[in-house]
Amino acid sequence: MDNTDPATRSAVMSRIRSRDTKPEMVVRRALHAAGLRYRLHRKELPGRPDLVFPGRRVVLFVHGCFWHQHGCLLSHAPASRMEYWGPKLRGNRERDARNTLALETAGWTVMQIWECETRVPALLAALVIRLSGIPVSLTYRHS
């Protein structure tokens, strides 16, 4: 149950960022340190991808595990107001799928990295290698 009044909750929620989040900054620093250059939040692309590599036609989304319901420990279900959160979180996943389809149809390669994956240095290194064009197989399940 929510112990705060609606005005306080609204103020707290309004401070949640959609860009320049901690996981996004971790990824950006790792890619930049590896010499990879990118563009940020291109408005003309569906979903405004977090990072865009125009020359490679690759876009990268850095998804928050809760907001995009990854299924890991960080993506817990809210305990209250499921009539609001259920459709909200489901809608985020559906929008992600629509944006991915639109980008792939337009010839872009779509990659995503999850918030929980940004906490594992080996996964960030594998992402850097993959974006550098060196073939790598990467599977990871965070529980």
Task: Tell me if residue 45 falls in helix, strand or coil.
Answer: coil
Characterize 124-137 residue by residue with b for buried, 16 or more Cβ atoms within 10 angstroms of its Cβ, and e for exposed. Answer: bebbbeebeeeeee
Q: Which two tokens stand for residue 115?
A: 């918030």
- Report pTM: 0.81
- Can you give the pLDDT at residue 141? 45
**pLDDT value of residue 113:** 92
Of 137, 118, 139, the closest CA to residue 129 belongs to 137
Q: Can you give the residue ranges of every domain in the chain? A: 17-131
For every one of its 143 residues, what pLDDT tens digit does the chain have, with 9 covering 90 and above? 567 787 876 676 666 767 789 999 999 998 888 888 999 999 999 999 999 999 999 999 999 999 899 988 888 888 888 898 899 999 999 999 999 999 999 999 999 999 999 998 888 888 888 887 754 444 444 44
* Whole-number Cα distances in Å, 51 to 14, 19, 42, 61: 23, 11, 8, 7
Residue 81 to residue 7: CA distance in whole angstroms: 16
Q: What CATH class is the domain 17-131?
A: alpha beta
